A and B are shown apart, each in its own frame.
Chain A
Amino acid sequence: MKLSLSVLLLGILALSIPLQAQKPSPPYTPVIMPNGVGTLPFKMVNGAKEFRLTVEKIRHEIAPGMVVNAWGYNGGTPGPLIEVVEGDRVRILVTNKLSAPAAVHWHGLFLPSGMDGVTGLTQRGIRPGETFRYEFTLKQHGTFMYHSHADEMVQIGLGSMGFFIVHPKKPARKVDRDYAIMLNEWYVEPGASTPNPNEMTEFNLFTFNSRAFPGTAPLVARPGERIRIRLGSVAQDFHAIHLHGHSFKITATDGGDIPASAQWPETTVGFGPGQTRDFEFTATAGDWAFHCHLRHHPMNAMGHGIPNMLGVDQRDVEDSVRKQVPGYMGMGKEGMHDMQDMGMEGPENTLPMMAGDGPFGPVGMGGMFTVLKVHPGMPKFASQAEYSAKVRLPGDMGWYPNPPGTVAGPVTEDPKTDTPPATPSIKVHETPAKPKSHSH
């Protein structure tokens, strides 16, 4: 009887292992991908964490008002976050629902050559409808990526990429919030909806997690929290990602951790295609811009060949043009900001070059731009799903209530009235005005 009870207890114990594995209490802070589709769930099968990825055609919103025909994983671009721990054995079952061959490359990971996912070199292409198994043991930790390595120009150009994050078995330190942002560049003909993968250099959409401002979700934190931001890039260009109001240290690349002695303070992290960068900092209260510092990258589509009208007075010529084309407004004399002020109609399914509203008016940004919101009492989010449900657009989670006297304002000639401007009334959790909806 005792034997049977022992067997029963052992059986229950054995059964409880996979159940516990599915609901682990992770020894790390779960990574959040703003605007991400979620963390990929797994099942323990034969001692390996088994994931299922499906590469497929999807409709993806770049920002409200613009939807593109993309190729992603499990309904999203970037695909779902694969989040594991160093030493795990992983099995990834990749199903190809495209009508072209596919393959997935595990970018930066140490693995058997035959699992590296390069069509023709390490495997044949996954044919439409087929499922391939990739299986390997994780021998390192860090921020890695997965992306198509079949017809890369097209498949990555249309969004087939994702993060593969391996946490260390024994973290040297724990951060309070851990974010991951994937950079990509697209060319979508204004008014069209399928990215043109043939474009080599003249991209017109620059995205964080395949979203462009004003469609980017902010990153949130509380003052004093330790924040990690992981950046990965499958873009074509070098990017210089700048965080306002903070100094940070790059703690790791996809090649491994950088020893503390080799780290130095930065405000901008520059990196190229196929690289990842992790950097950490302590959050300071405020709403802080976070963007690529290449001038055209925090902007949306604009014509590269448009005439330079800076300093060109159009006042009376404007009437002549308007007689021919009613609705014409002369623009550009004093820069491009007036475009945003006029609220003019643009082509369907296109984002304005400059857009977005903040608490003080038009932000006049686009592309690779978002906000780090460090507010007291900012909620914690237990999962990617919870984050994505509440934090989607720049205005979500409200705006920082600047303490009196800490906001720049106009100077008046009368010293008595020359007082610092009042803080604008804050409407917490208000979504900014959305661009005109497209016709889909």
Chain B
Amino acid sequence: MDLARRTGIAFNESSDPSPGTLDLSTADSAIRLGFLHNPQTRALLAEADLARAERGEGRALPNPEADFAFRKNGGESHWELSVLGDVNGLLLYPWKRGAANTRYRATLNRLAAHLSEQKTQVYNAYFSAIAATQIQAFVANTAATWEAAAELSRRQRQAGTLNALDLAETEAAATEARLALRSAEGKASEERENLARVLGLPSSAWSLPDSLPDPLPEDPALGELEALAKGRNPGLTAAREESHAADQLRALASLEAFPSLKAGISVERDEAGRNFMGPAVSAEIPLFDLGFARRARSRAEGELARRRLTALESRLYPEIRARHQALGVARRNHEEVRKTLIPLRETATAEALKQYNFMLTGVYRLLAARREELSARILGMESLRDYWIARGELERLVGGPLPQPASGDKP
């Protein structure tokens, strides 16, 4: 559940993938399904198990060493037994344990960052697939207007009221509309397969809702998001903890500059059956490896971790600002399209019909008005899709769900 907490999506990390109920009614339900079924997600979860084991290893006390020797000559025998403990290991144990914990947390956050990436992929794929299906329907209608226009043109030509140029132009436009429809169908199919890939489930196993949800009543302010990201972005947290772990390891490396010392007890029985017992000490002679390279490495690792943290921070905030800007643009565009452009285009179609009724305009102009209305609907769908994708990206950047207004329903 540690990863679930870090990604902001409630899912059972230990659940076995099973088809269960394939609920894709909301983006979160799609993400939960993706976490259960996507092999890459499962691999990440396995990595979390590995990290947990490594933390266990790192937190274990060093075992004592026993040294036993037995010698025999004819009827005489001689044996020695010594038990030595790693003095350095025992002395440095608190530092090692701390470093292991920090590394574990860093690893979990690194995994959470990857999961967030995957969550965003599902988000994007989910909204893109629904939008592409709807856009395909609008493009199909557009193609139908052109097909009707082409058919009318052919009949006009047959009746002797249209010249070859106008017929060719209308038929060419209808052909282009068919090409556009084919592309839209391909795009919709591609988006579905992309969703299938990130879900880890074949597209035949699920179906999508008919429409994208409306934007939420309001979106969080930029400052709020930056503050959230500072404390919650898993990549940033991981980098910060890696930097912290590197500092701890560097301190450890300095302590490890002392020669390795082991101490214990030694027991010996000689040929005469006499027992001897006394302390035993084993020490490393720092003759060739004076530990400089190890310390230099730990210093370099510390520097690397700090630079990575700085680099991440310098990327993160501009990206949040850019996505927040994109979110605002998409919301305003969608609102203007929905509240203004589509009603205006609908009015234009209705007025074109009235003009057609009074023979003030022709059927081709009427169909053109309808096409403009469909274009407006496509624009609305694209801006709605962009809105939800921008929100998904922001969730990734801030490391979890965005703050919800009190009355907001999450899609």
Contact = CB atoms under 8 A, between A and B. Distances in A.
A and B pair up = yes
A317 to B, nearest CB: 5
B355 A346 contact: yes
A367 to B, nearest CB: 14
Contacts of A332: 359
A336 interface: yes
A306 B362 contact: yes
Contact of B354 (A320, A324, A331, A346): A346
Which secondary structure dominates chain A's binding surface? loop
B358 A339 contact: yes
B356 interface: yes
A347 B349 contact: no
Interface stretch (A75-83, A259-267, A307-315): A307-315
Given A303-B361, A312-B159, A317 B151 contact: yes
B152 A312 contact: yes
A389 interface: no
Contact of A324 (B356, B360, B370): B370
Interface string A224-236: 0000000000000
Given A327-B353, A344-B357, A350-B358, A320 B151 contact: yes
B349 A190 contact: no
B358 A324 contact: no
Nearest to B161: A308
Contacts of A329: 357
B149 to A, nearest CB: 9
A301 to B, nearest CB: 6
B351 A321 contact: no
Among B358, B363, B366, chain A packs the most CB atoms within 10 A around the CB of B358
Question: Nearest 4 A-B pairs (CB), nearest first?
Answer: A311-B159, A344-B357, A346-B358, A308-B161
B383 interface: no
A302 interface: yes
Interface string A322-336: 011101111110001
Interface of A: 190-191, 301-303, 305-314, 317, 320-321, 323-325, 327-332, 336, 339, 342, 344-347, 350, 352-353
Contacts of A344: 354, 357-358
Nearest to A313: B155
Contacts of B160: 311
Nearest to A302: B359
Contacts, number: 112
Contacts of A327: 353
Given A308-B161, A321-B363, A325-B349, A347 B358 contact: yes
Interface in B350-378: 351-364, 366-367, 369-370
Contact of B363 (A301, A307, A353): A307
Interface string B50-67: 000000000000000000
Nearest to B157: A312
A310 B161 contact: yes
26 contacts: A191-B355, A301-B360, A303-B361, A306-B361, A307-B162, A307-B362, A307-B363, A309-B161, A311-B159, A312-B152, A312-B161, A313-B159, A317-B148, A321-B366, A323-B144, A324-B367, A325-B369, A327-B353, A328-B356, A328-B366, A329-B357, A339-B359, A342-B357, A345-B357, A347-B351, A347-B360
Given A190-B355, A301-B360, A320-B144, 5 more contacts: A312-B158, A313-B159, A321-B366, A328-B363, A328-B366
